[in-house]
Amino acid sequence: MGLEDSEEYSNHSVRDVIESFVEQIQKTRRLLFGVTISAMILAPLAIGLSIYMVRHEHFFFVLDEYDEFGTFLGVLLATIIIISSIWLVLGIRQFTMLKSWNARYSSYMKKKEKLDERISASFELDEDQET
């Protein structure tokens, strides 16, 4: 194995590592997309149910009649609304970031295919010239 062979092997290995890394990021992106969609569906649902409970005619009765439970229920609903609102904002923000990643990944794949075609064409020309 000469110097040229080790350089070719090293370049090939680096390219394989980068390709593997990009594929793993793409798989992670799919998982994050699922989490993002669930945040955009479940957070508004939790906020809506919490607001419905707060606006219910018996809500203030429960707060007055059942001191500890009423306090706990009020704090719980406020916490659900706050956390769900944060979750919804983060979900929307993550969605826009993932959308941007998808565009960059598509651009990367197109450039990679063009480069592969150029390299293949270059080697085909070299083979034709040698024979």
Residue matched to tokens 């979900």: 91
Contact 70, 63 (CB under 8 A): yes
Q: How far is CA 119 from CA 2, 4, 74, 105, in A?
A: 22, 18, 66, 21
Burial classification of residue 13, based on how many CB atoms lie within 10 Å of its CB (0-12 exposed, 13-18 middle, 19 or more buried) = exposed
Strand, helix or coil for residue 28: helix
Residue pLDDT, tens place only, 28-82: 888 888 888 888 899 999 999 999 988 988 888 888 888 788 888 889 999 999 9
Contact 108, 22 (CB under 8 A): yes
Tell me the whole-structure pTM to 2 decimals. 0.60
pLDDT tens digits for range 73-123: 889 999 999 999 999 998 888 888 888 877 787 888 888 888 878 877 887
